[in-house]
Amino acid sequence: MIKTTTTATTSKPKAKAKAETAKAKPKAEPKKQPARGKKKPAGKASPPVAPKPAPKPEPAPQPKPAEGNRGGASPKLTERDVPRVIAMLRQCGGIKTVAAEKLNVGRTTLYAFLNEHPEIQEADSEIADELLDVAEGQVVIALRSGDLQTVRWYLELKGKDRGYVRRVEQTGKNGGPVETQARANPKDYTDEELDLLIAAAQRRKAAEAQG
């Protein structure tokens, strides 16, 4: 008689645990890819942007005021300014107002400075003589060029002994004599006074006709 033996095989506990955990985990779903050819919906249109205002032009730079009169006190001239004053008088043709403005001083200050310095007065006289020479030279040029107005003026000025004298004749209205007395208004007289005036005028006229 043959004996048969049966052996029961038991699974390992570790493999069983791994199988259970694998069943518990859900399978990850595949990611959906966007369909090709479809465009994304356009977003809302942004409102129009207002243009920026043009920049304002910068103001032109103003000239700085002269610094010679700082502090309120009028500038004064000193001995060192004598050559500068003479040069400015020559440049301005001896005109004191213009020279004082160029020197940045008052006119009275310049006149007082001239009175205190005889050398400036002498230079001022020389400047006046030089300008007179220039003016005479221009008169000679005008005379030689035949400027009639200059010729007439020169003859009236220098040719009086030759009869070149300007005569001015004054006449009244319409070339008549100049009236020295105002004419009376007939409305200011009475009828009797008018009759007397008319009679006197008639007698004067008759006397002139007889004489």
Does pLDDT of 164 surpass 90? no
d(CA 78, CA 101): 17
Give me the amino acid identity at 129: D
Does pLDDT of 67 surpass 50? no
Does pLDDT of 65 surpass 60? no
Residues 6+ apart with CB under 8 A from 87: none
The pLDDT value given to residue 159: 85
d(CA 131, CA 100): 19
Percent of the chain exceeding pLDDT 90 equals 33
What integer is the mean pLDDT of 64-89? 73
Determine if residue 168 is left, alpha or beta; phi over 0 gives left, psi from -120 to 50 gives alpha, anything else beta: beta
Could you report the per-residue pLDDT of 177-200, keeping only the tens digit for each? 666 665 667 777 777 777 887 888
Residue scoring higher pLDDT (117 or 49): 117
Does pLDDT of 71 surpass 50? no
The pLDDT value given to residue 118: 93
Residues 6+ apart with CB under 8 A from 194: 186
The domain ranges of the chain are 74-162
Closest CA to 92 of 120, 65, 117, 127: 127
12-16, 40-44, 162-166, 195-199: lowest mean pLDDT where? Answer: 12-16
**Residue 136 contacts residue 121 (beta carbons within 8 Å):** no
Could you report the per-residue pLDDT of 10-22, keeping only the tens digit for each? 444 555 555 555 5
pTM for the structure as a whole: 0.42
CA Rg value for the chain: 60
Does pLDDT of 39 surpass 70? no
Closest CA to 69 of 96, 105, 97: 105
What integer is the mean pLDDT of 142-160? 88
| Residue 82, both tokens | 């004598």
The pLDDT value given to residue 129: 94
